[in-house]
Structure 1
Amino acid sequence: MSDTATDFVRANTRVAPVPFLPELVLHQAEEPIELWERTEAAGGEQPPPFWAFAWAGGQALARCVLDEPELVAGRDVLDLATGSGLVAVAAAKAGARSVLANDIDPFSLAATRANAEANDVKIQLYEGDLLSEGYAEAGVILAGDVFYSREMAAQVLPFLRQAAGRGALVLVGDPGRAYLPGEGMVLRHTYDVPVVEALESVPMRRTSVWQVVFTYR
């Protein structure tokens, strides 16, 4: 992980409590639209700054884990497409034996490392495409806001279903994105989650935590 990514994260965010999770803090963008436009202007050199915001699905999933620590306590956890690392931090706070935060974006992992330090927890980082490479070690897989596009949904859903089929607990946080699957999901919780209105066009999102279950096809 480069010092450039870490410096960029720290220069463009401030540490503040998460709206729906006041017991946690996160490096968050002070000017979300400005930061988004800046990274878009960089073209292919830098992906969108998903790591700079507390997205609704991640907040709901983190709230679920903190309120029900028995879901992760003493278990090995994978936070898939970690973004800011918010869900990974929550899992570590809830007593997970180990937490691996995965993303393909080095800026995301730089933010995750900074957020782990800010919350005084230990998180392992892995940069790479686990959806293609596979990963069979975690007993719990957490995924917030991963059904935001048809392409991403087509990649992530088989991965999650395969994990559920081998016995992993698979939980997804989602605010009703268009590509959330309509079957093979069991509703666990629903919350009204504060969001960044400049990005979501509303101040609150009704957001659910789902458990992915294995279904024979």
Structure 2
Amino acid sequence: MRLHTAGPRSGLMRLAKADPAFGSPYWARPWGGGLALARHVLDCPESVAGRRVLDLGAGSGLVAIAAMLAGARAAWAVDIDPYAVAAIGLNAAANGVSVEATLADLTTGDPPAVALVLVGDLFYDAVLAERILAFLDRCRAAGVAVLIGDPWREFLPTERLRVVADYPVADFGDPAGMTRPAAVFALI
């Protein structure tokens, strides 16, 4: 897969200086949970084949793109950052797939019309983790399957999860060449 990422000559700092609303560019680098989840989807295409999937907090769109490459019927990538939504479009095009990218916060609404919700790296903050888990519980109650990729962050609700697969990944901010364990979980 190809992803547009931040680097010394990417021009990202010029963009940040030009837009006072520019936040942390979480979408500019792949994170460990998203890497594990994307790897799992590609290794186990039956998890997404023929299904409409939601990549919640999609960032770069890595997981949605992997889902489309693995045979998903449709992938909907949602993020709250307008730059992430733009990056999703660029990254999907770079991989020759179509991904519906949407700027929205779905966590306060009803479960979406999808068969599977894919969540990578959204358990790094207590308040966010609580909102995400409440939304995912509503999805599960509506019959929507949930897969979570995460490198065992502090606010991951491990007591509510079943490990599906383990992967060694390089997480955001780790020194070059370093890997850590990340897992793909099913919400139970």
**Partners of 1:191 and 1:206 within 8 A in 2:** yes
Q: Of residues 127, 132, 139 in structure 1, which corresponds to 2:115?
A: 139
**Match of residue 182 from structure 2:** 207
Q: CA deviation at 1:31?
A: 3.1
**Match of residue 30 from structure 1:** 7
**Match of residue 153 from structure 2:** 177
Q: CA deviation at 1:45?
A: 0.8
Question: Does 2:130 align with 1:157?
Answer: no
Instruction: For 1:205 and 1:165, locate their aligned partners in 2 and report how far apart those are by CA, in whole Å.
Output: 33
Question: Does 2:35 align with 1:59?
Answer: yes
Question: Does 2:82 align with 1:106?
Answer: yes
Name the aligned partner's letter for residue 28 of structure 1: T
Instruction: For 2:71 and 2:81, locate their aligned partners in 1 and report how far apart those are by CA, in whole Å.
Output: 26
Q: CA deviation at 1:35?
A: 5.1
The alpha-carbon distance between structure 1 residues 36 and 173, as it changes in their structure 2 partners (threshold 3 A), is: farther
Segments of structure 2 that go 5 or more residues without pairing to the other structure are none
Name the aligned partner's letter for residue 174 of structure 2: E
Name the aligned partner's letter for residue 112 of structure 1: I
Q: CA deviation at 1:201?
A: 5.0
The normalised TM-score by structure 2 is: 0.91
Instruction: For 2:32 and 2:168, locate their aligned partners in 1 and report how far apart those are by CA, in whole Å.
Output: 9
SS of residue paired to 1:58: helix
Corresponding pairs, count: 186
Name the aligned partner's letter for residue 25 of structure 1: R
Q: CA deviation at 1:133?
A: 2.6
Q: What do residues 131-179 of structure 1 show as CA deviations (whole Å, max 9, x unaligned)?
A: 0133330100000000010111011001112212222110000011110
Instruction: For 2:13 and 2:182, locate their aligned partners in 1 and report how far apart those are by CA, in whole Å.
Output: 23
Instruction: For 1:182 and 1:25, locate their aligned partners in 2 and report how far apart those are by CA, in whole Å.
Output: 31
Instruction: For 2:28 and 2:57, locate their aligned partners in 1 and report how far apart those are by CA, in whole Å.
Output: 14
The normalised TM-score by structure 1 is: 0.80
Q: CA deviation at 1:47?
A: 1.4
Percent of residue pairs bearing the same amino acid type: 41
Q: Of residues 189, 202, 206 in structure 1, which corresponds to 2:165?
A: 189
Q: CA deviation at 1:44?
A: 5.5
Instruction: For 2:167 and 2:43, locate their aligned partners in 1 and report how far apart those are by CA, in whole Å.
Output: 13
Name the aligned partner's letter for residue 188 of structure 1: V
Name the aligned partner's letter for residue 137 of structure 1: A
Q: Relative contact order: is structure 1 or structure 2 higher (C-alpha 8 Å, sep ≥ 6)?
A: 2
